Amino acid sequence: MAGVAKMDRYGGELPQGSDVLADQPAELGHDVLAFSHGRAALAWYLDAHADVSWAVHCAYTCPTVPSFFARRGLQLKAFDVGASVDEVVNLVADKKGEGLILIPALFGRNPWLDVGQLSRRCGPHVHIVIDAAQTAFGHEDYVAPRKGAVLSCPRKACALGSGAFLRLSAAASSTDLKAVQSLPAALGPSMDKRKARAYFKTGNPDDESKGLALAVQCEQEWPDTPHRMDDEDLQLFMMIDGQAHRRRRRANAERLWSRISQSGIRALDDRAGVKGVPFNFPVLLPSSVDRSQLLASLRDQRVFATSLWPDCDIDPLCHKLAASYRDHLVALPIDQRFDDADIDEIASRFMSCLLN
């Protein structure tokens, strides 16, 4: 991470140079395909399995996901956060033809659903994709279902312009490899994202504003069609030290919770960070805390926490926990650019804003 200017800014977009690099590049597995972003990977998968006519997903998800499925003409159903295998199986019991179940690894944590059991009970007409989009290395950490795939999106968790990996249940065929390699790269948004990260690296407040504008712009430019990962991004990703990335995020989550656990807020499990590789540190605020006001206070303190997906379309009667996440969750930053002192400062500022 040498060369990144220190700045009183905690959270938000990763600046260029945030990742620890290894001495030697890694190699992609023979069952892994590299795409520009998550929707591009899902679009390729759906194109390759054109008989898929319906999809089931967690109610608490990035709204771009069900919108993308709807644009593809898929019939949609949703399950609640924490739903059991029985509940998901019952949800798809009356579905005809080929379908897809998207199993979330929320916040970078391991899926709560037993993917193997779900796959066996749903039968051969159901594709199961583990949505580890909030991870950089989920394609390495999770085994693809026998009929399905694992999706990870290092462009979200590393300082890259583009990048999403799809790990298949078997080695990719030479036809698939050549087809993906011949796809166009999404050069517009990927280059804009790299430019934004370069602006964030300087530590200059004026550059920060330019970087934010570019980051917003590029998120609106990602296409709904299959695109490959930019060559420059792929080369950089293969140099990232995956073990250092995992260790730092887990340690930061553990340390942050140790500093704020006495505040009375609720973490989403008892020991944060040890199950999976956390994307952020989510907590649930009591109803007595005004989330908008808290987030504004944190911004004033240069801590860029997020409510993540407050615009999810959720029926609170059917999906109570998902609605609770939508309405009361705050995700605090714990990514790999921060050391112990940074985490202590984030905790201190959070506690100050929470108590005021």
DSSP secondary-structure letter at 228?
B
Distance CA 138, CA 278 (A): 11
- pLDDT at 6 (0 to 100): 52
- pLDDT at 264 (0 to 100): 82
206's CB contacts (< 8 A; 6+ apart) are none
Question: Which of 284, 277, 232 minimizes the C-alpha distance to 251?
Answer: 277
224's CB contacts (< 8 A; 6+ apart) are 39, 43, 68, 71
127's CB contacts (< 8 A; 6+ apart) are 45, 49, 52, 98, 99, 100, 101, 145, 147, 148, 149
Which backbone phi and psi does 25 adopt, to 5 degrees?
-70, 145
- pLDDT at 269 (0 to 100): 63
Chunked mean pLDDT (size 10), the chain, 356 residues: 60 96 96 98 97 98 97 97 96 95 96 95 95 98 96 98 97 93 97 96 92 94 97 98 97 95 79 74 94 97 96 95 96 97 97 93
162's CB contacts (< 8 A; 6+ apart) are 36, 37, 155, 185, 186, 189, 190, 193, 229, 230, 233
Distance CA 345, CA 134 (A): 24
Long-range CB contact pairs, 130-134, < 8 A, 24+: 130/103, 130/105, 131/57, 131/61, 131/65, 131/102, 131/103, 131/104, 131/105, 132/105, 132/108, 133/38, 133/62, 133/164, 134/105, 134/106, 134/107, 134/108, 134/279, 134/280
- pLDDT at 273 (0 to 100): 41
CATH code, residues 242-355: 3.90.1150.10
Which backbone phi and psi does 78 adopt, to 5 degrees?
-130, 150
Q: Where are the domains of the chain?
A: 32-181, 242-355
At 329-343, the pLDDT tens digits run: 999 999 999 999 999
Reported pTM: 0.95
CATH architecture classification, 32-181: 3-Layer(aba) Sandwich (3.40)
- pLDDT at 272 (0 to 100): 43
- pLDDT at 345 (0 to 100): 97
